[in-house]
Structure 1
Amino acid sequence: MISDKLRDQTIGFTKEIQALLNGTIASHVQIKAVALPVGDDRLFLLGHLLDKRTLTAERFQLRPRAPRVELWMDVSFQLRLDAEREHLMVQQSFVGVFGSKDAKHGLFHYDYERDKADGYPDAHLQVDASSGFFGTLNDPKCDPGRSLGALHFPVGGKRFRPCLEDVIEFLAVERIVNARDGYEKILEAGRERFRQNQLMAAMRRDPATVDKFIERYREAERA
């Protein structure tokens, strides 16, 4: 049976992401959610002006600090309920920065794919860059001509991966984009929600460690 809990939590998450982007480094972003049936359940796809027919989202423009330069951001999520069908879970996410609306290569992108099947880290960063030194490390039999941008840098796994707030902070503090006044408070509030959600999820998955933590503090209080 399709759960309305998924729909309701997805709507809340959609509003959070849209407010985060429009309150910090973007304008007029409209995050849309589309339900995709998966067996007896469904997956929600999220993205800017997500098309119901093609299931593709559009990139949106940022305000780069450098003059006469375009900068576009691509943000998308796939959401479902967890195994207990109680809490919203990110199945996949993508955050990338590009030089045009349709460019295949950009500055960088963060990917997350739960239980990724090809051997690469579930959560990883790829930077579209080159390195002469890295070129000397390639095995000419297996990886001739492989670029630095092809590398998947692990970034914390499914539980402690970077959040969208971290990417926004990077763009702002490295003076790549113009951010709105007071953006720091918005980022910190969103980051705190993310960390609390991840911590709660980690606790649900590892109750033995939680019990050890509680017992340790009980012993400290009794001492």
Structure 2
Amino acid sequence: MPKDWFEWHDLYKTDQRLQQRLEIVREYIAHSLNFSSPGVIRVVSVCAGDGRDLLGTLANHPRAQDVYARLVELNPQLVERGQATIESLGLTKQIEFINGDATIASNYLGAVPADIVIVCGVFGNLADENELNRLLRNLSFLSKPGAFVIWTRGHSHNIPHSETVRQSLQKAGFAEVNFQLTATGDMGVGIHRYLGESVAEPKEEQFFVFSGIANRAR
């Protein structure tokens, strides 16, 4: 089992579930770009890893030059790898990678509210449903009205955790655009739109507590 998140990301080379999940996430990011208004598209990614979901989509997307993004990730090795990818794509003036705590609101100042919010690999690493709802309440600081929110949630012990997320998002003012399970049937990927209003100040400086560890990632 991986001992840290840098090692965990190497599982994308061999794990079909993660490969399938990434394919769907990229599909939803492309959809969000396609249906964004003309002009600048602002994107934020929470617990971004090495940014392979967004950066892999931008590599071949016609609106790549419209994207201005901030990716926030705590692991410095993942940030370094992501920055190398940004440089290879020629997007250094548009995309910044912050090596910092993605749970802290101040790391998003100047980049929000965004047109696209990516919260993949996050919900399964929260302690409980209360912590999920806390994070969802704070998404009003990250999201413009009508923003696309892309998320993932794995299942475990035959419990369909993604259904809980879908219900919680609806209660928090998000409309579902699409939802898919991976072919393995145990990882859900959703895309919603935010129906509420943005807020100038976050409800809390710390949005949520990321309690997961790499060798027990869900």
**Greater Rg over alpha carbons, structure:** 1
Give the alignment's TM-score, normalised by structure 2. Answer: 0.29
TM-score for the superposition, normalised by structure 1: 0.29
More RCO (CA 8 Å, sep 6+): 2
